Structure 1
Amino acid sequence: MEKKIGVGIVGASPLNPGWGIAAHIPAIQALPTYYELKAVSTSRIESAKAAEKEFGVPAYDNHIDLINNQDVDLVVVAIKLPNHYEVVSAAINAGKMVYCEWPLGKGLEQSLELARQAKLANVRTVIGVQARFNPVIKYVRDLIRDGYIGKLLGTSLVGSGMAWGDVTNLSNAYTLDNSNGVNMLSIPVMHTLDALTYMLGDFKDVSAESAVRQSKALVKETGETITKTAPDQVAILGTLESGTIMTAHYQGGVARGENLRWTFRGSEGELVLNAGSGQVQLADNLKVYGATGEETELQELSIPEKYYASSSQLPEGVANNVGQMYLQFAKDLQDDTHLTPDFEHAIQNHELLDVIEKATIAGEKQTVK
């Protein structure tokens, strides 16, 4: 590229490291041909000073100064969901490109408004649904499309939320309050359903149930017991446009065995994905097992090297899939394509999330538009 993309990250405190530090900064640093970190912001002057020392770039204790930095072309919003709307809207109004972590807004209405603002301002956007960039997810998608298991009959998965159990840490305690919108359905389930629609196509209809089965949670750092209103059980039954039946059951907390088991059964064979993490967007240890034709036992499948071609320059772990999103976005800007999930894509997911929520309230099947 003729000019590197200057990146400013909102939410990058070394004193309280979060997703910005764990995933975004390593990904950006691994792609120096395309990107350069230009600024970071935190919520306090102490953490801003620590960030400036840590990363060697200007650091602010507010997002407005970061957005107004002329060297920042792309504003990355890696903060808690309740604050997304204010920061994303400000970045759009300044004419900056925006990479926002999923969910886009707190509910469908906020998200629609942010997508509308971005469209009117004609700014490029990215929504952080990185599971579809995992090489294993891409490989399974191709196996199914190439007929490895014949006609896909059904798919089912059981997953752990990893959070939303009976123990939490202080920084994630707010996710147990359902009014904040950061719950097991909106995070691990929707990240997984984004990967599902990438592999198998869109939904036709859904039914769903949710429940709070453990109403109290212990905060590890303080020993305090807090009330949990966010569901720790979410079950979905859906029909895809292809006619394929899918089921998903997510449970709060961490399982003692597999935290993700995802089965794809076809007329000629079967595929199984599993991982140590129930959150597909975070899993860097996905494994796939398959059997086809006359084979009667599942065997672990080796992922062809071509699926890792774009990963070789990226760090292992959670920064890898995020880095692949950055790489695709840079190519989109270079080639004037739109292959990176953007705010319009986010709206599709938010509309699906809204339908699932309505299905849990109504207790009956809902049509997906």
Structure 2
Amino acid sequence: MARIRLALIGLSQSAKTSWARDGHLPYLLSERGRERYKIAALLNSSEEAAQRAIDHYELGADVAAYGSPQALAEDPNIDLVVCTTRVDVHYGTIRPSLEAGKSAFVEWPLAESLQRASELADLARERHVRTIVGLQARVAPVVLKIKELLEAGTIGQVLSSDVSAATPLGGGDSISEGLAYFMDKKVGGNAVTIAFGHTIDYVHFVLGEYASSQAHWQIQRPNQTIVNRETGAKRLIISDVPDLVSLHGTLQPSRYVAEGASLVVHFRSGPPFPGTTAFAWTITGQKGEIRVSSERGPSIQVAADDVPVPIEVHDFATGEVKQVEWTWEEWQGTLSARGRNIGKVYDLLYEGRVEKSGVANFETAAVRHRQLNAMLSQ
């Protein structure tokens, strides 16, 4: 099978943090990735910026440099467009490629608003193009192992589940200049849409969606100081983004979820109480319980080997608690933590198995956007 020719939007030479560099390049530049994909173009804020990134990452003289989304969309040598920019740039940079009928892989959140996310989903459906959204925890081995245990009836039908999540970073009265946009809800990228959004998506991927739910949110620390880490300069802003969210409701029944089963989720931006676990997810069934925990918080889609994410199963009949092992595929173990599940998504796309594997697309992303929009409107 021929390699898939892709264009990366947002790979920068100068960015201090870069999901394109840290999440996508490890796989794409690996031996396995090079066998399946060809980076054929970059799109940045200008053609010159794109060329600087091509040179910096030594991608090759045959990689095209673009500064215009429309020019990229018109390139016949591109099969897949991958968008890794800040969320409020997603819509404008990816829409021309969708209109041109190109496949698209857009990082989460899909867009800065429900309206624009829905527009992109509608356009992709009209053009009959394949889409992916970077909710990559759906392919994480730890998440798939939990789903496997439930499908096997290990704890019987699910009666309830509760999630307690805190983020090791944030939660104070200051934030770096580079993340100041996290305090502005209209930008669309913040701790709720990103960290909570990823978390609630893989929880629903395992347990199914709510049949009905209610939400509560709070802005505990609206007064924020923006700090320039290089110059020391400070400025004050008022945040309109919640830093505490709670959800509770009834899950839709399924083969392994009982009628009336509850799901309760508590999320806060900021570290947990000292000595307690930043993330704990318990699933209670008729015959036992499953507990998943992580010292680094709920972002188990970027779990690293040095901080384990154990799965424990408590058997009610025997009282015994066993740890269930899960592993990375051998090739994933050679990549950085951020690149492993992104690499798996790329693999599934190349093999034509994204739909069968439940990889998130624009349609499923729109579902999650609707949930977040309704939740934050309450």
| TM > 0.5 fold call | yes
Deviations 1:109-138 (A, max 9, x none): 212211111122221111111011110110
Identity %: 25
Q: Which runs of 5+ in 1 are unaligned?
A: 362-369
Q: Which runs of 5+ in 2 are unaligned?
A: 254-259
Find the counterpart in structure 1 of residue 256 from structure 2. Answer: none
Choose which of 180, 188, 207 in structure 1 pairs with 2:195. Answer: 188
Measure how far apart 1:54 and its partner are. Answer: 2.1
**Superposition TM-score, scaled by structure 1 size:** 0.88
Between the two proteins, the alignment pairs up a number of residues equal to 354
| Contact 1:165-1:217 within 8 A present in 2 as well | no
| Contact 2:210-2:251 within 8 A present in 1 as well | yes
**Superposition TM-score, scaled by structure 2 size:** 0.86
Give yes or no for the alignment of 1:150 onto 2:156.
Answer: yes
| Contact 2:138-2:358 within 8 A present in 1 as well | no
SS of 2:13's equivalent? coil
Measure how far apart 1:192 and its partner are. Answer: 1.4
Give yes or no for the alignment of 1:50 onto 2:56.
Answer: no
Measure how far apart 1:233 and its partner are. Answer: 0.5
Find the counterpart in structure 2 of residue 366 from structure 1. Answer: none
SS of 2:345's equivalent? helix
Measure how far apart 1:161 and its partner are. Answer: 3.7
Distance 1:225 1:141, change over 3 A: same
Distance between the aligned counterparts of 2:108 and 2:355, measured in 1?
24
Choose which of 209, 212, 234 in structure 2 pairs with 1:223. Answer: 234
Distance 1:291 1:156, change over 3 A: same
Find the counterpart in structure 1 of residue 244 from structure 2. Answer: 233
Distance between the aligned counterparts of 2:200 and 2:76, measured in 1?
37
Moved over 6 A (4+): 335-338
Distance between the aligned counterparts of 2:168 and 2:87, measured in 1?
18
Choose which of 285, 290, 296 in structure 1 pairs with 2:319. Answer: 296
Q: After alignment, is 249-258 or 107-116 more displaced?
A: 249-258
Find the counterpart in structure 2 of residue 202 from structure 1. Answer: 209
Find the counterpart in structure 1 of residue 6 from structure 2. Answer: 7
Distance between the aligned counterparts of 1:91 and 1:130, measured in 2?
22
Find the counterpart in structure 2 of residue 367 from structure 1. Answer: none
Q: How does 1:335-346 map to 2 (within 5 A)?
A: 339-346=358-365
SS of 2:34's equivalent? coil
Choose which of 30, 40, 43 in structure 1 pairs with 2:42. Answer: 40
| Contact 1:162-1:279 within 8 A present in 2 as well | no
Give yes or no for the alignment of 1:169 onto 2:176.
Answer: yes
The residue type equivalent to 1:171 in the other structure is G
**CA RMSD between the two structures:** 2.4
Find the counterpart in structure 1 of residue 257 from structure 2. Answer: none
Give yes or no for the alignment of 1:354 onto 2:373.
Answer: yes
Give yes or no for the alignment of 1:214 onto 2:225.
Answer: no
| Contact 1:164-1:253 within 8 A present in 2 as well | yes
| Contact 2:221-2:243 within 8 A present in 1 as well | yes
Distance between the aligned counterparts of 1:205 and 1:339, measured in 2?
23
Measure how far apart 1:249 and its partner are. Answer: 0.8
Distance between the aligned counterparts of 2:324 and 2:21, measured in 1?
33
